[in-house]
Amino acid sequence: MKQSLQMLLRDWRAGELRVLAMALVVAVASITSVAFFADRVGRALVRDAHQLLGADLVLVSDHAWQPGIAQEIANRGLNSARATTFISMAIAGENSVLAGVKAVSGNYPLRGRLRIAPAVNAPDGPALAGPRPGTVWIEERLVTALSAPVGSRIKLGASSFEIAAILTLEPERGANFFNIAPRLFMNVDDVAATGLVQTGSRVWHYLYAAGAPEKIVALEAWAKGRMARGQRVENLESGRPEVRGAIERAQRFLGLTALLAAILAGVAIALGTRRFVERHLDGCAVMRCFGATQNRLLLLFGGEFVLLGLAGCALGTVIGFVAQFFIAEILGGLLRADLPAVSMLPALQGFLVGLVLLLGFALPPLVQLKNVPAVRVIRRESGATSGSAFAVYAAGLVSLSGLLIWHGRCRAGRDRGGRFRRGGRVVRGDSLVGFALFLREFLFKKDRKEKSLFALWPRQPAPACARQRDSGGEPRSRAHRGPAPDVHAQRPRGCLAAQFPAGCAQPLSARRPARPARGSEVLLYQPRHRDPGAQPHGARPPGFREQQEDR
């Protein structure tokens, strides 16, 4: 490792590693900044989503809860709250309006906050607790309908209540028939005194639970096995389906953003490594001459890259950490939400992604570097065996795929607490398919054009046939200036043999068709009728219709 460190310092000083290090740092910084931001936004989305539910889990019943359920929530170390909803007539003086009554415990809601105002059109603020016993909060339209301002009294069943505040925001409230009625909040301990809830009343009883995700998952599993008739368990997926789609889309977008950063990182690292390998072929041959075994070379360069990776990933992670604050600052106006504090998981993810990308894309070429023959010091055209181009990059592909799967599982695990498992799977599937398409479209097509990333080794001299042609005085056309395979040297398998027929220094596909001589006619349309001269100007030639139909 000491020699690897020496080589790292020497190569760094000589500028051999700067491109690669820059690519790695930028890549890791991109990945970590996006990951940090995505993580914060994701957690904020889940947090806010739970605010829409008022808790992490809600148990709903059309009759009073059996006593063991609420006790079980407390026994599991979870916070709990309760609520009862029903429709009732609210009366103030001569006015009466059907109100949607929600009687809640003092600690409702467990997630998010109700917002109340001291008067109609007055600035509102978050409520620290539910309505005190003997008081109610009502919506503004109820104030209007009943002509009952804050401070006046309102009658519900057999009880009378003071209007203590105007309810301005109830995050949990969804859109359904029973929520059309204007809302009235009261304390759940006052319900019995109203006499409104009797046998046969249409009343819904709620138990809310909030706490650690794993405890919520366990409670959900426990509760589902104990639900009686008229009882159900609601989470975000079942309770607020309209929220689920939005969060899934946001997570998919952020996931694809991180994926793009990872793919660009892989490409940059592959290019940087290619340059490094090309510039070290001669040095490796000299070292082989002076006694370096293949394993020794592999350890030296492998160690050098591991050290480079550790340093580059650490620096990139720090930059990513700082950059995400700027991203949050810039996008803060769009988000309109307080992002939660930074967690360290994205830092770990970014660091590991950088290392795996570096080693996945760099180690295969480095492994090939050890195969540089010592005789290269005398015959420079002797290169290393390049092996299969796909095999070289398969390691990078496998590494990246592994990372994506891991990342998908991490998100699925995290989402399990937030009930968005499907989102994780979708992103993971998209990521893998996207990366495979990228490889096919970019890398392999480039390879076929002989400008490939797979061309790890310097091009070999032109074969005898090409030299003979040149020496024969025939001017070399532009089409023949490209690199040519050496019949004596192994060429990358990515260069399909079929594209290099004997005596041809350029793939047939790269040859240009002969340009027509000046003045000669170029037929853009070849009619089936061989006597187009019989047609008047502007008329459709025979066969045009058939050709259109063929298309």
Partner 1 sequence: MDNSKKTILSARGIGKTVKSGSSDLVILREIDLSVTAGDAVAVVGASGSGKSTLLAILAGLDTPSIGSVEVDGADLFGLDEDQRAELRGKSVGFVFQSFQLLPSLSALENVMLPLELAGRADAEAMSREILARVGLGERLSHYPKHLSGGEQQRVALARAFSVRPKLLFADEPTGSLDAAAGSGVIDLIFELNRSYGTTLVMVTHDENLAQRCGRIVRLVAGQIAGK
Q: Which residues in this chain contact partner 1 in the complex, by CB under 8 A?
A: 3, 6, 10-11, 13-14, 16, 282-283, 285-296, 373-375, 377-379, 464, 487-488
Tell me how far, at minimum, the Cβ of 15 lies from partner 1, in Å: 8
Tell me how far, at minimum, the Cβ of 517 lies from partner 1, in Å: 37
Task: For strands 57-61 and 153-156, give the pairing.
Answer: unpaired
Task: For strands 135-139 and 159-169, give the pairing.
Answer: parallel
- Which position has the token pair 């350029």? 506
> 149 - beta bridge partners?
none
CB 274 within 8 A of CB 459: no
CB 132 within 8 A of CB 169: no
Tell me how far, at minimum, the Cβ of 472 lies from partner 1, in Å: 18
Length of the chain as a residue count? 551
Nearer to partner 1 by C-beta: 106 or 373? 373
Question: Cβ atoms within 10 A of the Cβ of 401, count?
Answer: 16
Tell me how far, at minimum, the Cβ of 362 lies from partner 1, in Å: 18
Give residue 60's Cα distance to chain centre: 34
How far is 115 from 137, CA to CA, in rounded Å? Answer: 10
Alpha helices per DSSP H over 161-226: 191-194, 213-224
Distances (CA, A) of 186 to 109, 155, 195, 199: 13, 12, 14, 21
Here the tokens at position 158 are 């057999």
DSSP state of 440: I
How far is 415 from 420, CA to CA, in rounded Å? Answer: 5
Q: Which distant-in-sequence residues (6+ apart) come within 8 Å of 314 by Cβ?
A: 351
Nearer to partner 1 by C-beta: 196 or 285? 285
Instruction: Read off the amino acid at residue 495.
Output: C
Task: For strands 183-187 and 95-104, give the pairing.
Answer: parallel
Nearer to partner 1 by C-beta: 13 or 537? 13
Alpha helices per DSSP H over 439-543: 445-448, 464-471
Tell me how far, at minimum, the Cβ of 284 lies from partner 1, in Å: 10
CB 100 within 8 A of CB 84: no
Nearer to partner 1 by C-beta: 282 or 474? 282
Based on DSSP, count helices (H) and strands (E) in the chain, helices before strands.
Answer: 15, 11
Question: Cβ atoms within 10 A of the Cβ of 304, count?
Answer: 24
The gap between the terminal CA atoms of the chain, to the nearest Å, is: 65
How far is 21 from 23, CA to CA, in rounded Å? Answer: 5
Rg (CA), the chain: 36
Instruction: Read off the amino acid at residue 121.
Output: N
How far is 358 from 252, CA to CA, in rounded Å? Answer: 25
Nearer to partner 1 by C-beta: 295 or 509? 295
Task: For strands 79-92 and 203-210, give the pairing.
Answer: antiparallel
CB 58 within 8 A of CB 234: yes
Nearer to partner 1 by C-beta: 9 or 436? 9
